């Protein structure tokens, strides 16, 4: 059963992580299956009183994925009263998922800080289930199982934010190989957006961001019209991450 | 002294509001002066256990400004351990700003949800100080007084977010008169960004967002080359607010 010491935790505060995984033009999300129930949850946790919120989110993810340098982004804090379902902690006790002593902790009114991450999921060796879960898996975002509480709303908001951020943030570092072609970068955008993009508009726009370096080398093994290979200009990439893309004002 | 009943409040959770005020090409921010101290604070508050986070933020602002339909946006949740200064609650007790019984409440480890708003400040009749403050004033963002705890970092992050959001969100509704000229809209952007923009680029870009309706009328009283008056297409404006501006992918 879940081992948890409420005495060292910040009351009323939880965190939930939406981990998007990209690999081979597929977008998935990391979910935990609650023990003995046909119910799934986002990985998350609580915030120890003596620890920073952000580092606790990183820690929660590292435990699940083994990845320790994930780019995690806070996207929204969920604080409606309706998100707490009084039947939920009782169900956890009934299914012997938590000790009865933890009922009070789990029946608090929680405000949950949502984080999202986007990782190359082939780098995650084997996702690790947590104390209240029996499986941790990459699930297709187009075919999600039933999620507990308001977790599907949290996931949806994270996905909306990710798509919106493509207008203002660079993307691709750590998701693509160090050198990549413009069509490969376009595929990444298309996978996230879930739609096809016009080839010429994409090229024009991505170039206007001024975050790519052309290596003047071409993808080998392709005989005719081999596409040029690009790299991210990491300094400009990180600057754009902080200040927004230069297509701005 | 401050009247506060911790029994009805969500432990560990606070909220802080950064209210930007725009009027006549000036950008200011609403601050509270702590009673008897040369120290200022952002307006904020706590979250009653039976109330939604967002509605509590609206309520806090309505109390200070009298405005009840402010567009409030969550921008970041602040949760580092370092943000809690153990000397702060003692100072509040020493200055008789809070009852000694409230010392424990104020010395909790707080996680604070930050919201920002942008209002036409001439519409705010007279800002109202709160229980721990003796004044509530519009202060120039280029000349800020000393702020308590990490409030200047919260303010800075809100301002950075506001400037970044100009790339992806429409702005101007409720800040400009119903009908306005493109140069007037440009002034609003310039005031927020704190820099001059190229006239032709601004016009081209703002038109590409497809949120303006040209009225085909001109500003009267200007004899020669009177500029055309525009209105926001409110439906498209609100759509862009949800989905991001159409200059996106």
Give every CB contact of residue A112 below 8 A, 6+ residues apart in sequence. Answer: A13, A14, A15, A16, A44, A77, A78, A79, A83, A154
How high is the pLDDT of residue B1?
A: 53
In SS3 terms, chain B reads as CCCCCHHHEEEEEEEEEEEEEEECCEEEEEEEEECCCCCEECCEEEEECCCCHHHHHHHHHHHHHCCCCCCEEEEEEECCHHHCCCHHHHHHHHCCCCCHHHHHHHCCCCEEEEEEEEEEHHHCCCCCCCCCEEEEEEEECCCCCCECCCHHHHHHHHHHHHHHHCCCCCCCCCCCCCCECHHHHHHHHHHHHCCCCCHHHHHHHHHHCCCEEEEEEECCCCCCCCCEEEEECHHHHHHHHHHCCCCCC
In the numeric block, which tokens belong to residue A134?
A: 């029996």
Cα radius of gyration rounded to whole Å, chain B: 20
Instruction: Tell whether B10 is within 8 A of chain A (Cβ).
Output: yes
ipTM of the complex: 0.89
Q: What is the mean pLDDT of chain B?
A: 90
pLDDT of residue A245: 75
| Predicted local distance difference test score (pLDDT) of residue B241 | 83
- Residue B246: the pLDDT is 56
CA neighbor of B37 nearest in space, from B155, B144, B147: B147
CA–CA min distance B14, chain A (Å): 11
pLDDT tens readout for residues A108-145: 999 999 999 999 888 888 888 888 889 999 999 989 99
pLDDT at res. B27: 92
Average pLDDT, chain A: 90
The predicted pLDDT at position B242 comes to 78
Chain A residue with CA closest to B79: the answer is A53
Mean pLDDT of A147-169: 91
A77:B74 CB<8 A: yes
By Cβ distance, the residue of B12, B52, B80 closest to A12 is: B12
> Nearest-CA residue of chain B relative to A169?
B164
The answer to whether the Cβ–Cβ distance between A53 and B11 falls below 8 Å is no
Interface contact flag, B167 A248, Cβ < 8 Å: yes
- Inter-chain touch A248–B80, beta carbons under 8 Å: no
**Any idea of the CA torsion for B182, B186, B187, B189, to the nearest 10 degrees?**
140
- Chain A interface includes B249 (CB < 8 A): yes
Residue of B nearest to A47 (CA): B79
Structure tokens at A221: 């093994």
pLDDT at position A246 is 56
- Residues in Cβ contact with B160 at an 8 Å cutoff, skipping those fewer than 6 apart: none
Position A2 confidence tier, pLDDT thresholds 50, 70, 90: low
Is the pLDDT confidence value at B196 over 60?
yes
Q: How near does any CA of chain B get to the CA of A162, in Å?
A: 11
Nearest CA in chain B to A245: B167
A197 touching B (Cβ < 8 Å):
yes
Nearest to A77 among B51, B53, B80 (CB): B53
Contact A166 B52 (CB under 8 A): no
> Given CB atoms, is A24 within the 8 Å cutoff of chain B?
no
- Please indicate whether residue A166 or residue B188 has the higher confidence score (pLDDT): B188
Give the pLDDT score at A15: 97
Q: What is the distance in angstroms between the Cα of A126 and the nearest Cα belonging to chain B?
A: 30
Return d(Cα B117, Cα B17) in angstroms, integer.
8
C-alpha to C-alpha distance for B92 and B90, rounded to whole angstroms: 5
B52/A79 CB distance under 8 A = yes
Q: Which residues from A are below 8 Å from B11, CB to CB?
A: 11-12
CB contact under 8 A, A13 and B111: yes
Which residues, 6 or more positions from B222, have their beta carbon under 8 angstroms from its beta carbon?
none
pLDDT band at B144 (very low <50, low <70, confident <90, very high): very high
- The answer, for B13 touching chain A at a CB cutoff of 8 Å, is yes
Q: Which of residues 71-90 of A touch B (CB under 8 A)?
A: 74, 76-82
Q: How far apart are CA B12 and CA A13, in angstroms?
A: 7
Between residues A50 and B123, which one has the greater pLDDT?
Answer: A50
Beta strand pairing call for A9-23 and A228-232: unpaired
Closest in A111, A164, A166 to B13, CB measured: A111
Q: How far apart are CA A31 and CA A158, in angstroms?
A: 14
What per-residue confidence (pLDDT) applies to B25?
A: 86
**Contact call for B249 and A111, based on CB within 8 A:** no
Chain segment B2-31, per-residue pLDDT in tens: 568 999 999 999 999 999 999 888 999 999
């Amino acid at each position: 059963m879940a081992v948890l010491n409420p005495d060292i935790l910040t009351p009323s505060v939880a965190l939930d992580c939406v981990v998007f995984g990209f690999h081979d033009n597929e977008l998935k999300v990391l979910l935990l299956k609650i023990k003995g129930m046909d119910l799934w949850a986002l990985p998350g946790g609580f915030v120890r009183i003596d620890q920073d919120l952000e580092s606790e989110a990183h820690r929660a993810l590292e435990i699940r994925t083994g990845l320790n340098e994930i780019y995690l982004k806070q996207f929204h804090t969920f604080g409606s009263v309706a998100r707490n379902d009084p039947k939920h902690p009782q169900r956890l006790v009934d299914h012997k998922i938590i000790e009865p002593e933890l009922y009070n902790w789990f029946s608090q009114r929680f405000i949950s800080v949502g984080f999202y991450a986007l990782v190359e999921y082939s780098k995650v060796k084997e996702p690790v289930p947590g104390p209240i879960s029996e499986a941790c898996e990459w699930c297709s975002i187009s075919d999600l199982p039933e999620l507990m509480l308001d977790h599907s709303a949290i996931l949806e908001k994270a996905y909306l934010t990710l798509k919106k951020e493509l207008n203002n943030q660079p993307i691709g570092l750590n998701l693509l190989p160090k050198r990549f072609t413009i069509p490969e970068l376009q595929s990444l955008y298309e996978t996230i957006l879930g739609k096809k993009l016009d080839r010429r508009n994409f090229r024009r726009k991505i170039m206007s961001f001024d975050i790519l370096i052309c290596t003047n080398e071409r993808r080998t093994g392709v005989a005719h019209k081999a596409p040029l290979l690009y790299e991210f200009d990491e300094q400009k990439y990180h600057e754009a991450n902080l200040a927004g893309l230069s297509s701005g004002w």
